[in-house]
């Protein structure tokens, strides 16, 4: 038997049956195959809840008189300034190595005294404290806060008390618990002040305003970036007082000498400064043998940090204004973060810088 398909193809009966059988067998075999088994779901091992160990750093702000980073609110107290003795019998002084800023000024007989300011770091004792001078109101007023001294001529005390600064004067009834005489020095070089106690007694006095612009580190300061190499700075106030500052790369500071000898603190370490400012100033002879440094005005300045020195101009608009420092291009001079010493060099004095 032959079968003809719609397309005209002819197949024999066996061929047709074989083809049909083959197709049916395929269907039957397929229907008899084992059912497909789904893969088992993966086992999930429970994990503990993630706990972060990151601790966010505490917010910081700049120490206004040092330019270093401190916790916010950590310096929410008054600054304390003091008129510090620089007589040979007063050395080494108490707490001078922990100052934020020190001003050295000419007084009678060609000697010098300091007006030192503490805020970032309050030593337990500061001194020896001596009497006030006519330029001290102009130095201290921009900081507000507290100033400690052992009296002085009535006219100078009146000038100091007329400022915005709280006057803590040795011998007054208000300072009986905070001033005392130490047995470690002979009078009149023996009056010390309990600085933290004085500051705590005046918690209503705010922190001082920032005085100068600061770089984050020594390398970023104006002197280090744009200044000339300086290994030694010699300052001559008179034949009696001629401090010098030598650059010490190991500590990253200028180290101080006086009259050719290292100037030491009580531990025997040499006093030093991250920033050294030498301001050339006029001297007012209104008060006879007591010289008055003229600070309201302007003049030449050398600012040193990082082993280099930049030249510029200082200016101060009035008693309560800060001292402004600009370089010879008129750009603000940025100090390095750290402590500062200011030499108020009389216009008849001398400064020598050695590369």
The pLDDT score that the predictor gives to residue 73 is 93
Confidence of residue 35 (pLDDT cuts 50, 70, 90): low
* Domains: count for the chain: 2
- Mean pLDDT in residue range 173-190: 95
Sequential DSSP letters for 99-118 = -SEEEEEE-GGG-EEEEEEE
Question: Max alpha carbon distance in the chain (Å)?
Answer: 151
* First-to-final CA distance of the chain: 124
**Residue 4: pLDDT over 50:** no
Per-residue model confidence (pLDDT) at position 16: 36
Instruction: Tell me whether residue 332 is in a domain.
Output: yes
Are residues 100 and 219 both part of a single domain? Answer: no
Same domain assignment for residues 344 and 223: yes
Q: How many CB atoms lie within 10 A of CB 248?
A: 14
Q: Which helix (H) or strand (E) holds 26?
A: helix 13-32
Do residue 78 and residue 149 come from a single domain? yes
Is 9 within a domain? Answer: no
Enumerate residues 6+ apart whose C-beta is below 8 A from 118.
Answer: 79, 80, 81, 82, 95, 98, 99, 100, 126, 195
Has residue 3 been placed in a domain? no
Domain CATH code at residue 174: 3.50.90.10
pTM across the whole model: 0.85
Residues 220 and 295 in one domain: yes
Domain for residue 122, yes or no?
A: yes
Q: Which of 165, 200, 235 is the last residue of a domain?
A: 200
More confident residue, 301 or 19: 301
> Does 106 lie in the same domain as 85?
yes
Write the pLDDT tens digit of every residue in 211-258.
999 999 999 999 999 999 999 999 999 999 999 999 999 999 999 999
Quick one: 290 and 269 in the same domain?
Answer: yes
Residue-level pLDDT at 204: 97
Q: Are residues 170 and 81 in the same domain?
A: yes
Q: For residue 334, what is the enclosing H or E element?
A: strand 334-335
Q: Clarify whether residues 246 and 185 are in a common domain.
A: no
Phi, psi (deg, nearest 5) at residue 345: -80, 120
Contact in structure between 266 and 273 (CB atoms under 8 Å): no
> Which of 176, 200, 224 is the C-terminal boundary of a domain?
200
What does the mean pLDDT of the chain come to? 91
Which of 131, 166, 200 is the last residue in one of the domains? 200
Residue 121 CB neighbours (<10 A)? 15
Return the minimum-mean-pLDDT range out of 18-32, 143-157, 221-235.
Answer: 18-32
* 23 domain residue, yes or no: no
Report yes or no on 19 lying in a domain.
no
- How far apart CA 277 and CA 303 sit, in angstroms, is 5
Same domain flag for 272 and 163: no
C-alpha angle 345/348/351, rounded to 5°? 50
Q: What is the pLDDT of residue 299?
A: 98
Distance, CA of 84 to CA of 86 (rounded, Å):
7
Do 278 and 222 share a domain, yes or no?
A: yes
Indicate whether 249 and 181 sit together in one domain. no
pLDDT recorded at residue 9 = 45
**Which residue range is the domain that position 281 belongs to?**
213-354
Q: Is the pLDDT of residue 165 over 70?
A: yes
Buried b (16+ CB within 10 A) or exposed e, 196-222: bebbebeeebebbeebbebbebbeebb
Tell me, yes or no, whether 218 lies in a domain. Answer: yes
Residues 297 and 179 in one domain: no
Give CA angle at 271 (267, 177), nearest 5°: 65
Question: Which residues contact residue 122 at a Cβ distance below 8 angstroms, ignoring those fewer than 6 apart?
Answer: 80, 98, 195, 196, 199
Distance between CA atoms of 86 and 346, rounded to whole angstroms? Answer: 17
In a domain, 16, yes or no: no
């Amino acid at each position: 038997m032959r079968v003809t398909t719609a397309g005209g193809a002819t197949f024999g009966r066996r061929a047709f049956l074989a083809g049909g059988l083959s197709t049916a067998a395929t269907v039957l075999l397929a229907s008899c195959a084992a059912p497909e088994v789904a893969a088992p779901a993966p086992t999930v091992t429970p994990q503990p809840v993630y706990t972060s160990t990151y601790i966010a750093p505490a917010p910081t702000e700049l120490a206004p008189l040092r330019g270093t980073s401190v916790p916010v609110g950590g310096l929410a107290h008054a600054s304390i300034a003091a008129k510090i003795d620089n007589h040979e019998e007063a050395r080494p002084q108490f707490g001078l190595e922990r100052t934020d800023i020190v001003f050295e000024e000419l007084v009678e007989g060609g000697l010098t005294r300091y007006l030192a300011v503490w805020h970032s770091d309050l030593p337990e004792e500061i001194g020896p404290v001596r009497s006030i001078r006519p330029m001290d109101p102009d130095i201290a007023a921009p900081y507000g806060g507290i100033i400690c001294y052992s009296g002085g001529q009535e006219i100078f005390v009146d000038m100091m008390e007329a400022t915005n600064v709280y006057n803590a004067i040795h011998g007054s009834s208000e300072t009986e618990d905070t001033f005392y005489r130490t047995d470690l020095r002979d009078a009149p070089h023996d009056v010390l002040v309990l600085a933290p106690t004085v500051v705590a007694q005046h918690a209503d006095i705010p922190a001082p305003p920032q005085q100068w612009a600061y770089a984050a580190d020594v390398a970023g300061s104006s002197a280090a970036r744009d200044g000339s190499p300086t290994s030694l700075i010699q300052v001559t106030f008179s034949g009696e007082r001629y401090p010098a500052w030598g650059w010490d790369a190991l500590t990253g500071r200028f180290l101080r000498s006086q009259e050719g000898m290292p100037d030491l603190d009580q531990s025997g370490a040499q006093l030093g400064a991250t920033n050294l400012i030498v301001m050339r100033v006029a001297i007012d002879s209104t008060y006879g043998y007591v010289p008055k440094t003229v600070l309201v005005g302007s003049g030449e300045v050398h600012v040193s940090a990082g082993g280099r020195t930049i030249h510029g101009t200082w200016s101060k608009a009035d008693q309560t204004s800060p001292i402004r420092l600009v370089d010879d291009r008129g750009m603000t001079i940025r100090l390095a973060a750290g402590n500062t010493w200011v030499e108020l060099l009389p216009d008849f004095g001398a400064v020598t810088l050695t590369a």
